[in-house]
Amino acid sequence: MRIQVDRERCVGAGMCVLTAPEVFGQDEEDGRVRLLDPEPAGIGDAAQVCPAAAITADG
């Protein structure tokens, strides 16, 4: 699975971090998503719970 995040679209809600903390983090300065693992085994519901639709998963 390949994950991509759109930091410009991110609103910093942190739902991705709560759902998959091993894959996503939040930037200390602006609170936007940071991708920790671009090819994880899975991300659970992180893409679905993102209010800004800033996460896409292929595969």
The CATH code of domain 2-58 reads 3.30.70.20
pLDDT over 80 (residue 59): no
Residue 58 confidence (pLDDT): 87
Question: The pTM is what?
Answer: 0.92
Q: Tell me the pLDDT tens digit for each residue of 17-58.
A: 999 999 999 999 999 999 999 999 999 999 999 999 999 998
**Whether the Cβ atoms of residue 46 and residue 1 lie closer than 8 Å to each other:** no
Domain ranges of the chain: 2-58
| Residue 20: exposure state from Cβ atoms within 10 A (0-12, 13-18, ≥19) | buried
Q: What is the pLDDT of residue 39?
A: 95
Predicted confidence at residue 40, as pLDDT, reads 95
DSSP notation for the chain: -EEEE-TTT-----HHHHH-TTTEEE-TTT--EEES-SS-S--TTHHHH-TT--EEEE-
What is the model's pLDDT at position 5? Answer: 97
d(CA 1, CA 42): 7
